[in-house]
Amino acid sequence: METIDKIKQQISENAIILYMKGSPKLPSCGFSSQASQALMNCGEPFAYVDILQNPDIRSELPKFANWPTFPQLWVEGELIGGCDIILEMFQKGELQSLIKETAEKNKPESAE
């Protein structure tokens, strides 16, 4: 599978996905740490891709996204931004409502 197709698939299959260095529990850079911390504080599950383990994605995603740096937060197929934007939205309370609404909308239907 082509790298760009892999990226598109990840973004389409995960309503909330963070491309970062390391993992939320073991981030490998300060910006990724702050971004994942803000996301975890929203209290909803999210997917992540460790770009250090995926050098193909690390090299292709900035071109695809037209965004040069990591981390990158994508919500419902749309690039939200990097660390500064994530933290700014978190401080304003915008990130929490965006993440909560997205998680609600994309919850698997409960079998009742």
Q: Give a yes or no: residue 110 inside a domain.
A: no
Question: CA 93 to CA 9: how far, in whole Å?
Answer: 29
Q: Classify residue 9: in a domain, yes or no.
A: yes
| 6 labelled binding-site residue | no
Tell me: the pLDDT tens digits for 66-103?
A: 999 999 999 999 999 999 999 999 999 999 999 999 99
**pLDDT band at residue 109 using 50, 70 and 90 as cut-offs:** low
Would the annotation count 84 as a binding residue?
A: yes
Task: Identify whether 43 is part of a domain.
Answer: yes
Q: How many domains does the chain have?
A: 1
- Looking up residue 36, the CATH number of its domain turns out to be 3.40.30.10
Instruction: Tell me if 40 is assigned to some domain.
Output: yes
Name the burial class of residue 2, with classes exposed (0-12), middle (13-18) and buried (19+) by CB atoms within 10 angstroms of its CB. exposed
The answer to whether the bond into 55 is cis (omega within 30° of 0) is no
For residue 86, the enclosing domain spans: 3-105
Whether 50 is covered by a domain: the verdict is yes
| Residue 111 forms part of a structural domain | no
- 83 assigned ligand-binding residue: yes
Residue 44 lies in a domain: yes
How is residue 85 written in tokens? 């934007």
Structure tokens at 68: 């040069």
CA-atom Rg of the chain in angstroms: 14
| 112 within a domain of the structure (yes/no) | no
* Beta-bridge partners for 48: 18
Helix (H, G, I), strand (E, B) or coil at 55: helix
Whole-prediction pTM value?
Answer: 0.93
The yes-or-no verdict on residue 65 having pLDDT over 80 is yes
